[in-house]
Amino acid sequence: MTELFALIQAHMADVLQVEPELIRLATRRDALAEWDSFNHLMLMMELEKRMNIAFRTEEIQAVHTVADLLKVVEEAKGR
């Protein structure tokens, strides 16, 4: 597990109020009832704030799995 994944996992568990063990790279938005559209936006805003990054609208819309989220975070950090 990478440090970035561990950070995302912790933030997701906090925002979604689920156990961190439920959050894996393959976890899909449609597999967690807590990962609804409202909590998705809350998660993205929390990551922007805590990591001092900014997501593009299309990046927010492209996240369907934790692996997708990790990818867009890495891209935003690289800008």
Could you please state the CATH topology (level 3) that the domain comprising 3-77 is classified under: 1.10.1200
- pTM equals 0.91
Angstrom distance (rounded) from CA 18 to CA 11: 10
In the chain, pLDDT over 70 holds for what percent of residues? 99
Residue 79 pLDDT class (50, 70, 90 cuts): confident
Phi, psi of 65 (to 5 degrees): -135, 170
Mean pLDDT for 14-18 is 96
Which H helix or E strand runs over 51?
helix 37-51
For the chain, give the number of residues: 79
